[in-house]
Chains A and B, each alone.
Chain A
């Protein structure tokens, strides 16, 4: 009897003693962390939600309703209207015009700016050219100067060459103002490559363009992806250059969007406005959601090395 009781007791004691995983307690601190994150997430998401909801509502519902509420009778009407028949000033062909203009601006601008940036970054990081450091310094400083300082002389220069108010003009402007970031991006990336690689290629008799084409460029895929993401979103989101240099027939989507929303006469069609807004944001949002960590890499490129 006695021994049985003792055994029992020790078994109980054993069980009560800490063993294995610490029991999970939901601490107030833990709840606080999630509460903060969830509330913040709501703050960030609400505008997207409101945009979407508004874009599917009828104007009647908007006048009476709650901007957060789900549409009672969801309709595609505002989207169709925004895309094909909303008025941007005098013309009423919708945002589709701006979309195609933006595409036409985007493709050459992205390709040319990355190409120039890659070559410049390569020349600056592996080759010795007189005055290159001074040029690079000026280029970097240029990145911080407000665009308003350059705009008027640029307008005069383009006007003098007859390029003003054309696709070519706005593409050139994007290449010009994309150059500092693109050069920096590629130069930093190439500075991280082992110099021995370059030396080996030199010993093997490679020239400037051969080394670039056969050795450096094939290794540049990651940075080209980063550069593409940055430039696609950056150029798509541009407003100032499109407005100033593209000319009336080539206005990009952002400018047309602003015209649709802010120069309407009479009562504003908020549902159409929001549909148009989402449509304009769709390209960068898609790039963002598809690229995921690459987008962050683009932001962090260089920044982390600071």
Chain B
């Protein structure tokens, strides 16, 4: 998903509302009203009911929410997603930025490097999870190689070690997502006026200083875009966990999205599940609000 919008032509020119154009927008309008608004409201409403296997429209106030906050599994999920989110976003940003900068040094076979760095992003989280699950297999994977090399004291037990399992997920996710950041930032680097680099050479400004003082601030909007894209992925984190750890060992790699899915379809606790979903919604809204404000409202006011 991408985020930036360009002001459409319609905003600039005044014309009478048009009937056929209105008709063409009906499918989108239905989707927005029924799904994006309707389903959201429905979910929020359900979170205030005592629904279990089937939806009931009673009212239990914040009951599900207090139960949620007492739910150990949910608390672990939240802690996990925060840890994962921070490490994943920082990891992808730093690694992706470095990749972009190093690729931008007029290297040979640039296209090959670019292709290699981005290919994981084309694959699904399920595939990513399964590959890394196998590489990190505590007996036959990397561990086996280390043992053979006499390096058996290094323990690669991450997927079965409750203390390490989240880092294993971060590793796989960074492998999957760094290329995305690289691609976005590289496009930004390529958009930098070549004359600026020439001016810097004439001025005798070392490249690292150019990157830190001139280029990085210029890439700001692209970094924000990358962060928003990655953050959306964090909120949705589900497939990777299901494929790689199934939330285990125990509940040590549970995440909120999985908590919702499990309580909806396996544990038949619709009230609790929708309460968790509403919590996710609120969090995303809080995180997103400043960005939306900066991007659209303030921009719109200045226009």
Contact = CB atoms under 8 A, between A and B. Distances in A.
Tell me, yes or no, whether A and B come into direct contact in the complex with CB atoms closer than 8 A: yes
Interface of A: 33-34, 36-37, 40-41, 43-48, 50-51, 54, 62-63, 65-68, 116, 119-120, 122-130, 132-133, 135, 137-154, 156-157, 175-176, 179-181, 183-185, 187-188, 190-192, 195, 198, 207-209, 233, 236-240, 244, 254, 257-258, 261-262, 270, 273-274, 277, 280-281, 284-285, 287-289, 292, 295-296, 299-306
A129 B28 contact: no
B116 A45 contact: yes
Contact of A258 (B20, B126, B235): B126
Given A127-B10, A152-B270, A208-B24, 17 more contacts: A33-B105, A67-B134, A120-B27, A126-B9, A129-B25, A144-B235, A146-B236, A148-B260, A153-B39, A179-B31, A240-B236, A244-B261, A284-B123, A284-B124, A295-B122, A303-B226, A304-B184
Interface of B: 1-18, 20-22, 24-25, 27-29, 31-32, 34-40, 42-43, 46, 55, 95, 98-99, 102-103, 105, 107, 111, 113-127, 130-135, 137, 140-142, 144-145, 148, 175, 179-180, 183-184, 187-188, 191, 221-222, 224-226, 228-229, 232, 235-236, 238-239, 242-243, 246, 256-257, 260-261, 264-265, 270, 273-274, 276-278, 280-281, 284, 288, 292, 296
A47 B43 contact: no
Nearest to B113: A37
B28 A139 contact: yes
B24 A125 contact: no
Nearest to A191: B6
12 contacts: A34-B107, A40-B117, A50-B131, A127-B10, A129-B25, A148-B261, A149-B43, A244-B261, A258-B242, A270-B137, A289-B115, A296-B187
B122 A299 contact: no
A60 B110 CA distance: 40
Contact of B10 (A125, A185, A236, A237): A125
A135 B142 contact: no
A209 B19 CA distance: 11
Contacts of A237: 123-127
B37 A138 contact: yes
A226 to B, nearest CB: 10
Nearest to B51: A152
B17 A128 contact: yes
Contacts of B281: 145-146, 149
B102 to A, nearest CB: 5
Contact of A303 (B2, B11, B105, B121): B2
A66 B141 CA distance: 8
Given A33-B107, A147-B236, A258-B243, A187 B8 contact: yes
A152 B94 CA distance: 37
A50 B24 CA distance: 49
Given A41-B116, A128-B14, A302-B5, A149 B21 contact: no
